[in-house]
Amino acid sequence: MQTLKVLITVKTYPIPSAKYDELVCTAGVTESGDFIRLYPIRFRDLPYSQQYKKYQWVEVLAKKHKGRDVRKESFRPQEDSLKILGEPLGTQRGWAERARFALAKRAASMEALYDQQKADGTSLGVIRPKRILDIEVSADDAEWKPQFLEALRQQRLWDDRKATREPPRKVPWKFHYRFECDDPRCNGTHRMMIEDWELGALYWRCIDNGDSPTIAAAKVKDKFLGTMCAADRDTHLFVGTVLEHGTWVVIGVFWPPRDDSSAGSAPLFESSGS
Ligand SMILES: [Zn+2]
């Protein structure tokens, strides 16, 4: 067991899980910019005082995983030890305080990350794409797989505390970033699923405000492409591998203003689900 001090940079959308009730992948960086994955965390079950936001420092007791999750950055946190240290880092001076830690160990490209993955099992990183080409939106199942839901029901029979709570809502769309890296080896065909919590949270806010599923999906695309990847943004992608397959997905977006002189003038989106 060791004490980790982590700046949270990423939270993924929760998925039901047989073993852990529901899973959120939380990732962040240490003070030296090294990546850490805290997993599993049953985020929605944490007391409010422990429900950290992005760009908040937390301190937590954790140990290395044995067995299933051997990804080198993964630690198993002791949830009741989690302490929030202060307010989230702000967006002043072009997100400088966030960038100091979040981008300290930035990789040159996905190709560089694939090399690191082969060399030492790297499974988290942050890159600055040369060009973001599009977000592909495609229809997906409206419900979680039956085995997920059955596992969840079985588990809740034993746990009154959560018996009345609904499972996380399943977003009936898939969103993939298509982009090109700044690397001579890049063939410009990266297509990576977006698993950012904020994406799901935004989708359901639109639905709850009366939008149709198609309109809500269009608004999500507009936000994650039109706003976060606009010409005046210095967009970076947080990426990580999925445990089961080792494939890379986008787990968060870092999108400070490109021009430092405009810092503070643009209203930045702050999601209540972040
Ligand atoms: Zn590439």
Q: Label the pairing between strands 190-193 and 248-254.
A: unpaired
Ligand 1 centre to CA of 188 (Å) is 6
What pLDDT was estimated at residue 267? 43
Ligand 1 centre to CA of 259 (Å) is 25
Ligand 1 centre to CA of 271 (Å) is 29
Ligand 1 centre to CA of 37 (Å) is 23
What percentage of the chain has pLDDT greater than the value 90? 69
Ligand 1 centre to CA of 161 (Å) is 46
Ligand 1 centre to CA of 169 (Å) is 32
What pLDDT was estimated at residue 166? 72
Ligand 1 centre to CA of 132 (Å) is 11
Domains identified in the chain and CATH numbers:
2-85 (2.40.50.140), 106-262 (no CATH)
The span from the CA of 177 to the CA of 86, in Å, is 33
With a cut of 90, say whether residue 105 has pLDDT above it.
Answer: yes
Ligand 1 centre to CA of 34 (Å) is 22
- The two tokens of residue 209 are 């405000």
**What average pLDDT does this structure show over 197-220?**
97
With a cut of 50, say whether residue 194 has pLDDT above it.
Answer: yes
Ligand 1 centre to CA of 185 (Å) is 7
With a cut of 80, say whether residue 178 has pLDDT above it.
Answer: yes
| pLDDT, tens digit, 9 for 90 and up, residues 133-175 | 999 999 999 988 887 777 767 766 655 555 456 778 899 999 9
Ligand 1 centre to CA of 176 (Å) is 15
With a cut of 70, say whether residue 272 has pLDDT above it.
Answer: no
**What average pLDDT does this structure show over 42-49?**
82
HSE-CB for 163 with a 13 A CA cutoff: 5
The span from the CA of 96 to the CA of 6, in Å, is 17
What pLDDT was estimated at residue 150? 77
What pTM was computed for the model?
A: 0.88
